[in-house]
Structure 1
Amino acid sequence: MTPDQMEARIVRYGDLRPCKTAFIDAHTPGSDRKENFTIIGGGVSEAADQHVHIRETPGFNIGAAGQPPGCRNSLHSHRTAEVFFVLKGRWRFFWGRWGTAGEFIAEEGDIFNIPTGIFRAFENVGTDYGMIMAILGGDDAGGGVIWAPQVITDAKDYGLVLGENGRLYDTKKGQHLPDGVKPMPLLTEEELKAFPEPTTAEVIPNHVARYWDLMALSDRQPCKVIGATGVLRDRPGFEVEFLSRNSIPDTPYKFDRHEVLMPMRGHWRLTWASGRTVLNPGDTAAIPPGLDHSLAPSMTGESSLYRVIATDDPAGPTGRLL
């Protein structure tokens, strides 16, 4: 693989292209300043103009959300796994039908494997622009977003209508539902009963891992964060590992399946037979199966990285309350 071919498989943080109208709450006050990024795979964006950096999916999708202080993403659910880690800032995650069932504050580097089937939302409660990185299960990320009914209702007051085809239409721009396409129906009260309302005490022990705990656990070997034997035990169609400075030797290795590298802190030297490059915080690198390569911090100081590896587990409902 030539350096140019490898570079085509790396999405640099500085090259990320945002979409500001990716979802139905894009005009709703409090949510109207957020930016969404689709890095690997089509994700779950509802906007036709969402830029996709790498379309080939490794069995899961990678995305990101960037938000200024005070900006929130509205209550929604997914049919497959949704995992976030905080790249920058301080974030409040909250969940439940009305967002009042539970909550916690995530700091930089913390990771949250959200239980499938609950309504969840998040907001930047820090003082600067924040960024969270997302891993979504399945090649099609579960087919889309399930919104809490009030989110769809509120959005209509600000001109956005979601079609049952999963696409957004902005009536303020003269857009209307195409012939034969009905609005996305609201969930009924009976359907809403199927969405759990777990408490904070039920969620945090089995679904949240803190950055500094992972740094300690990864001192001599990679720390399995999400997996059948992970700190957070789950099988969502991928595994997540956490690496720090002393986790792996600077010798070649390879996997027989897709691997995605997502640096959190420090600069990481990626080397393969015909080249080398440096991965920086916020970059995303898609390593193809069977490629011999090595990975090591390129400078002194704090270094950490999340590694996502495809598995043969089906990307169905996961992240169950354990």
Structure 2
Amino acid sequence: MSGAGTPAEKPASETTVEVACYASMPQFDSSILDTFIPRCRRLTQLHFGRIVSNPDAPQAFSENVGFNMTYNLVEPGKGNALHTHPSVEIFIALDGKWEIAWGGRGEHTTVLQPWDMIAVPAHVRHSYKNVEEKTANHIMTILCGDASITWGPDVVAEARNHGVRCTRRGELLGFWSGEELQEEAGAETEEDEPDAYHRPMSNPEMARHVRRFRDGQSLSVQAKGSFVNVSWRALAQGETLAIHCSPRAVDVLLVVLEGSLLLTRQGGELVAVTSQLDSVRVSAAEAQGILACNQLRTPCTILVVESQMRAIAGRQCGEWLVAGVSPTGSMGGECFAPVEEAWRAIGARGGRKERRIASATFTCRSYPKMAAGGARLL
């Protein structure tokens, strides 16, 4: 499945900064096949790329950076259905606790605490679930490369039993622009594909792909000529942080996990004021001249996503690596260094390395569809 409906990839703009405000982004309640199954209902916000079985959903940012990124707001006890991708998928718990399941029937599990993240390798069948008892919570996904999906056993049939019209592959009918898909078009379901397509993975193997916020280790996923690095930065009251990124990076994304973040240029020019769950896209070239400042009395923690993925298409399983993990399981490489001075400073100030987010109690509901896009140019 190729990138139909996605803005064409192009060189990063060197002067444009875009802010996607969480409160104004459209939320889709029927954006993907499994959301028609009651246990999988959720709201999805699309930042980059496209939603795998709804290619016409508008992305918030104007440029495609080579990966797909979403927020998903999920009620307690609900999640998504088992599926696989031909490339790595990264999950970050934005708030609340999340169970990540994997295996042929989801028999292996691990739980992410707030701000923890995991990189699920290509062709490993997996799903997520909000395991909080009372609160709806958010999980962030980054899918490297093309938005392509193969659903687990019985998922397509279960969705059809709930009235959805879709192809055998699970692509929704009536959501595509242009010509109508035929119901029998598309790739086969997993029952018709070789067993070798499903990559088994043990608990110890998957544990090497988990990054705990309390440990402060960043995460990197690499393919030939492409990569995405994900790390945390914590700012105390009044602290200012110069944004330094990899010399190979083309795009930088900042996601506010807690607090409020003020972005200025070196000369003092205001770039953006952001709050919790807002995100900022900027070219790596311009990011070097931007300062991030926390001017409030409350802590501010941000997620930094550096990438060079604009030129990639789909990659085969063997070409995607969670960097630093050797065949023997040992870790190495720059991407696994602890989050540098800003992180160590928390301990020096007597702060806690593991903060929890207080989630507001509310119920998921259907939001009115908004105009395409949700980002503003600065």
TM-score range, shorter chain: 0.7 to 0.9
Equivalent runs, 1:248-287 vs 2, <5 Å:
250-251=241-242, 257-272=250-265, 273=267, 274-287=269-282
The alignment's C-alpha RMSD in Å is 3.0
Tell whether the 8 Å contact from 2:49 to 2:66 is kept in structure 1 after alignment.
no
2:108 is the counterpart of 1:115:
no
Q: Given the superposition, is the C-alpha separation of residues 252 and 115 from structure 1 closer, same or farther in structure 2, using an over 3 Å criterion?
A: closer
Aligned length: 290
Alignment of 1:129-278 (within 5 A): 129-138=136-145, 142-163=146-167, 167-169=171-173, 178-179=181-182, 182=185, 184-188=187-191, 191-204=194-207, 206-214=208-216, 225-227=218-220, 234-236=221-223, 237-245=227-235, 250-251=241-242, 257-272=250-265, 273=267, 274-278=269-273
- Structure 1 letter corresponding to 2:167: G
Cα-to-partner distance string for 1:276-299 (whole Å, 9 max, x where unaligned):
322222111101232121112222
The answer on whether the counterparts of 1:148 and 1:187 sit within 8 Å (CA) in structure 2 is yes
| Residue pair 2:231, 2:303 contacting (<8 A) in 1 also | yes
2:49 aligned partner: 41
User: Where in structure 2 are there 5+ consecutive unaligned residues?
Assistant: 1-15, 330-378
Match of 2:105 in 1: 98
> Which whole-Å CA distance do the structure 2 matches of 1:253 and 1:235 have between them?
19
**1:77 corresponds to 2:84:** yes
Higher strand share: 1
Structure 1: state its 5+ residue gaps. Answer: 171-175, 215-222, 228-233
Shift of 1:302: 2.9
Which structure has the higher relative contact order (CA within 8 Å, separation 6+)? 2
Q: Structure 1 pair 250/95, CA: closer, same or farther in 2 (3 Å)? A: closer
- Quote the Cα distance in structure 2 between the aligned partners of 1:71 and 1:319: 30
TM-score (norm 1): 0.79
1:64 aligns with 2:71: yes
TM-score (normalizing by structure 2): 0.68
1:87 and 1:109 in contact (8 A); partners too: yes
Identical counterparts, % of pairs: 19
Q: Distance in 2 between matches of 1:299 and 1:284?
A: 18
Q: How far apart, in 2, do the equivalents of 1:90 and 1:251 lie? A: 31
How many Å separate the matches in 2 of 1:57 and 1:130? 26
Q: Distance in 1 between matches of 2:61 and 2:168?
A: 26
